Every structure is written in C-alpha cells, then in structure tokens.
Amino acid sequence: MVMHELSTASSIFEVVLEVASRHGAKKIIEVNIDVGELTLLNPDQLSMAFKALSEGTIAEGANLNVNVVKAKARCNRCSEEWYVNLSGVSSAISHLMFMTCPACDARAFLKQGCPKCGETNFDFISGNELIIKSIKIEK
Ligand SMILES: [Zn+2]
C-alpha cells in the first residue's frame, strides 16, 4: 500500500469517527465519498486502507464507497468544457503532482490544449474533489 492512499484514508477515517460519535453512533455501516480523478487516488487501495484502520473501532466492517469524479476542464478563452484524459499519467509522476498542486501540475504535464481553440490556459472545474458525502450509522 502506498503512503498516499494510507494518509488520505486516515484523514477520512478521523473525520468519519468524529462525526459519527457526535451523532451518538454505536456502529458505522457505510461511508460514501467523492474522489476526483486529479487526486490520482486508487479507490481500491483507499477502501483497503480504510478497512485496515477501522479494525477494532465502531467502523469495523463498514464499507467505504468511492465515487470517482471525472476531471473536467474549462477553456479560459472560449469557455469550452471537456473531460481531460489522464490515462497517460504515470503513477510516479502522479504522486509528485499530488504533493504540490494537482491542478497546476497536471495542466503543465498534460500539455493538452482546448479541443476547440487550442488555448493552453484552462482551469480544472472538477476532478480535485475529496468529499465525504454521507455516513450511515447505527445508534
Ligand atoms: Zn478554447
């Protein structure tokens, strides 16, 4: 397991436990999160790390459901919006990217321009998410 997923899972885990205990949870059944493609987090590894962390806690046996949000860009010249293809991004580079600014570095690395006008000045409007959407608990 790589550090990236492990440290992310542990941050998620801490928030989930805190929220659940604030609501008087006896058991955590399910956790739903949105993870943007630009975070380059591996959903399976996230779930595995979460599972390992939850052993012996009220979250033991809970499912971590990861909803992957596609990376979408918007052109700063013509306002065209498109889904960015991240398939060429190697994991070594991806981890470097995440440690700095994923959006800026992805943009520099991808060297893709707007599919409509070729402009390379664009912003990512989705794909950076790391959001806990909902937590299902038992009281
Ligand atoms: Zn454009």
Ranges of each domain in the chain? 3-70+127-138, 72-126
Beta strand pairing status for 72-75 and 63-69? unpaired
Mean pLDDT value across residues 38-42: 84
Model confidence pLDDT, tens digit, residues 65-107: 999 999 899 999 999 999 987 766 655 455 555 555 555 556 6
CA distance 89 to 126: 17
Q: What is the pTM of this model?
A: 0.81
Cβ atoms of 65 and 59 within 8 Å: the answer is no
Mean pLDDT value across residues 47-61: 95
Model confidence pLDDT, tens digit, residues 1-11: 456 788 899 99
Residue type for 85, please? N
Model confidence pLDDT, tens digit, residues 98-109: 555 555 556 666
Residue with tokens 């979408």: 72
- Ion ligand 1: residues, Cβ under 5 Å: 75, 77-78, 80, 114, 116-117, 119
Is the pLDDT reported for residue 115 higher than 50?
yes
Residue 1 pLDDT: 46
Cβ atoms of 124 and 112 within 8 Å: the answer is no
Q: What CATH number does the domain located at 3-70+127-138 have?
A: 3.30.2320.50
Residue 6 pLDDT: 86
- How far away, in angstroms, is 22 Cα from ligand 1 center? 47
